[in-house]
């Protein structure tokens, strides 16, 4: 599904929504650092769940007075709805910018762009990456996946940074089989280049 007609459209979108989306992620990270749970963390999936909860929490507060962006649930998915045409769910991503999800049918379908899950509403992810020591947020981007590949990234940078809203196109993924085949078949092994980002058991990247 085409979301941005050109670079000007992506830059306009980023400049309009980057501040609120960035604040939600940064405030969620501040909450994590100030929490007792941070010192007691045993699995990274726990931190990701905490972050998702707080991003949604701050999202409700940040968008309460706005008309074209809000927090809503669509078919069990909780996230930002923007202009009634884009759904964005928050996700932690590794350095490859790929998010991690337990490979349920619904999780796999979310990333299959040949399937219209939400009645014409596009599906994106608000991803954040951490630095090497996991002590701070490194990147915040909007991302569109198609199966196991990233179609494009839209960096949401601070207003003082360069390249604000520049759409980064990724190689087009090769489609194999029908949509039903892709949902039901066992997941293929990760490419060799992704081995360093392979999630731990119970938190597979799909």
Predicted confidence (pLDDT) per residue in 139-176, tens digit: 999 999 988 889 889 999 876 554 455 567 665 545 54
Q: Is the pLDDT of residue 64 over 60?
A: yes
Q: Domain for residue 70, yes or no?
A: yes
Those residues with Cβ within 8 angstroms of residue 109's Cβ, 6 or more apart along the chain or in another chain:
115, 117, 179, 183
Q: Domain for residue 48, yes or no?
A: yes
Q: Domain for residue 2, yes or no?
A: no
Distance of CA 129 to the CA centre of its chain: 10
Q: Is the pLDDT of residue 186 over 70?
A: no
CB 126 within 8 A of CB 21: yes
Q: Domain for residue 169, yes or no?
A: yes
Backbone phi, psi, residue 18, to 5°: -60, -45
Q: Domain for residue 168, yes or no?
A: yes
Q: Which residues pair with 49 in a beta bridge?
A: none
Instruction: Provide the domain count of the chain.
Output: 1
Confidence (pLDDT) at 185: 44
CA distance 33 to 39: 9
By residue range, what is the domain housing residue 55? 7-197
Q: Domain for residue 180, yes or no?
A: yes
CA distance 24 to 58: 5
pLDDT band at 196 (very low <50, low <70, confident <90, very high): very low
pTM for this predicted structure: 0.78
Q: Domain for residue 204, yes or no?
A: no
The overall longest dimension of the chain from CA atoms, in Å, is 47
Q: Domain for residue 56, yes or no?
A: yes
Q: What is the mean pLDDT of the chain?
A: 83
CB 143 within 8 A of CB 153: yes
Give the residue, 127 or 194, on which the prediction is more confident: 127
């Amino acid at each position: 599904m085409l979301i941005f007609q050109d670079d000007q459209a992506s830059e306009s979108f980023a400049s309009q929504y980057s501040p609120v989306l960035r604040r939600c992620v940064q405030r969620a990270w501040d909450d994590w650092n100030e929490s007792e749970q941070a010192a007691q963390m045993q699995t990274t999936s726990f931190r990701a769940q905490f972050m998702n909860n707080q991003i949604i929490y701050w999202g409700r507060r940040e968008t309460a007075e706005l008309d074209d962006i809000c927090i809503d649930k669509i078919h069990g998915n909780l996230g930002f709805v923007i202009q009634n045409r884009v759904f964005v769910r928050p996700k932690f991503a590794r350095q490859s910018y790929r998010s991690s999800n337990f490979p349920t049918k619904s999780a796999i379908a979310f990333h299959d762009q040949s399937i219209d899950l939400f009645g014409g509403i596009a599906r994106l992810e608000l991803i954040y990456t951490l630095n090497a020591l996991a002590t701070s947020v490194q990147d915040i981007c909007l991302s569109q996946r198609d199966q196991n590949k990233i179609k494009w990234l839209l960096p949401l940078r601070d207003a003082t940074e360069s390249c604000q809203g520049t759409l980064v196109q990724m190689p087009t993924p090769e489609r194999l089989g029908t949509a039903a085949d892709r949902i039901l078949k066992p997941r293929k092994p990760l490419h060799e280049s992704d081995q360093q980002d392979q999630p731990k058991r119970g938190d597979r990247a799909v």
